[in-house]
Amino acid sequence: MNAHRPLIGVTLDSEQPSADGQPGYSRFPWYAIRQNYMDMIAECGGLPVALAHDPDLATALVARLDGLVVTGGAFDVPPDLYGAMDQHATVQTKPRRTLAETALVHAALARGIPVLGICGGMQLLGVLLGGTLVQHIPDTYPAALPHEQPNPRNQPGHDVAIVAGTRLARLVGQDRLPVNSAHHQAVADAGRGVICATAPDGVVEAIELPDHPFCIGVQWHPEFGISTGDRLLFEGLIDAARQTGT
C-alpha cells in the first residue's frame, strides 16, 4: 500500500439532547457517526477526519482535504431544495446538517476532489447536481422491494444491477452486487449525473458525475463491506484522493 494516506473528510450526523431524567448520550446537542465509516476508510488506506456542521468553514475545510464522504442518516433532504411544492408526511429534515453538507459538496466539486455520497449522501448529491427525489418509494413504486430491509444492516437485502461502461462498473468489475438497504427515498432524476446502478424494481441505486475525477453516490451502505465491490469502491475513492494529494 502506498505510504501516503490521503485525508478524507467524513460528514457527521447530529442528534438532539436527551431530556432531563431520560437515558441518552448527552443533555446537550451532539454529533454521531457509526464506527465502520471511519474503519473502512482507514483499512483502505485513508486518514478519516470528522467534519463539523459549519457551512462558513466548508471552503477552508475542503482546501485541506483530499476527498469527501457524505454519510447517511435517518433524515431527508428538504423537498424545497429540489423544487417540490409538497412535503410527504414521512419526511424528516435536519436543516443545519444539510446546509453544512451542501456547502462541503459544492466546495469539493469546485476543487475537483473525490466525493462519495452514501445513502442520504447520494440523495443530496443528486439534488445538488440538479436532480429530484422520490419522497416515499412505496408511493411511486407500488411493487417496490423492502428498501428498508427487515434483516440486519450487515447482511444483503437485495442485488443491484451495475450499468456497463460506467466508472462504478470499472471499479467493482461486476455487473451485479448484493447490497444492504435502509432508505425510503430515492433519486428520481439525476440531473447532471448519470444513473449507474438500479434495483430489480427500478429504484435508482447509484449515480455518478462523468466529467469529475471521482464523484459517485450509492444508495446502499458500502462501509459494512458486504461484498468485495464495497471495499473496491472505497479503495477507488482513496486511490483518486491520492492523486489529489500529490
Q: What is the span of the domain harbouring residue 81?
A: 7-16+27-245
Confidence of residue 245 (pLDDT cuts 50, 70, 90): low
Residue 211 domain-assigned (yes or no): yes
**Domain count for the chain:** 1
Domain with 175 in it: what CATH number?
3.40.50.880
pLDDT digits (tens, 9 = 90+) for 140-199: 998 999 999 999 999 999 999 999 999 999 999 999 999 999 999 999 999 999 999 999
Q: Respond yes or no: is residue 223 known to be catalytic.
A: yes
Residue 134 domain-assigned (yes or no): yes
pLDDT digits (tens, 9 = 90+) for 28-60: 999 999 999 999 999 999 999 999 999 999 999
Output 50 or 2, whichever has higher pLDDT: 50
Q: Respond yes or no: is residue 221 known to be catalytic.
A: yes
Residue by residue, what is the 3-state secondary structure of the chain?
CCCCCCEEEEECEEECCCCCCCCCCCCCCEEECCHHHHHHHHHCCCEEEEECCCHHHHHHHHHHCCEEEECCCCCECCHHHHCCCCCCCCCCECHHHHHHHHHHHHHHHHHCCCEEEECHHHHHHHHHCCCEEECCHHHHCCCCCCCECCCCCCCCCEEEEECCCCHHHHHHCCCEEEECCECCCEEEECCCCEEEEECCCCCEEEEECCCCCCEEEECCCHHHCCCHHHHHHHHHHHHHHHHHHC
Confidence of residue 83 (pLDDT cuts 50, 70, 90): very high
Q: Looking at residue 22, what is its pLDDT?
A: 81
Q: What pTM value is reported for the model? A: 0.96
Residue 22 domain-assigned (yes or no): no
Residue 2 domain-assigned (yes or no): no
Residue 170 domain-assigned (yes or no): yes
pLDDT above 90 for 18: no
Residue 1 domain-assigned (yes or no): no
Q: What is the mean pLDDT of residues 9-32?
A: 90
pLDDT digits (tens, 9 = 90+) for 217-238: 999 999 999 999 999 999 999 9
Q: Which of 19-33, 144-158, 200-214 has the lowest mean pLDDT?
A: 19-33
Q: Looking at residue 3, what is its pLDDT?
A: 62
Instruction: Output the average pLDDT for the chain.
Output: 96
Q: What is the mean pLDDT of residues 111-130?
A: 98
Residue 21 domain-assigned (yes or no): no
Catalytic residue selected from 44, 119, 196, 215:
119
Residue 145 domain-assigned (yes or no): yes
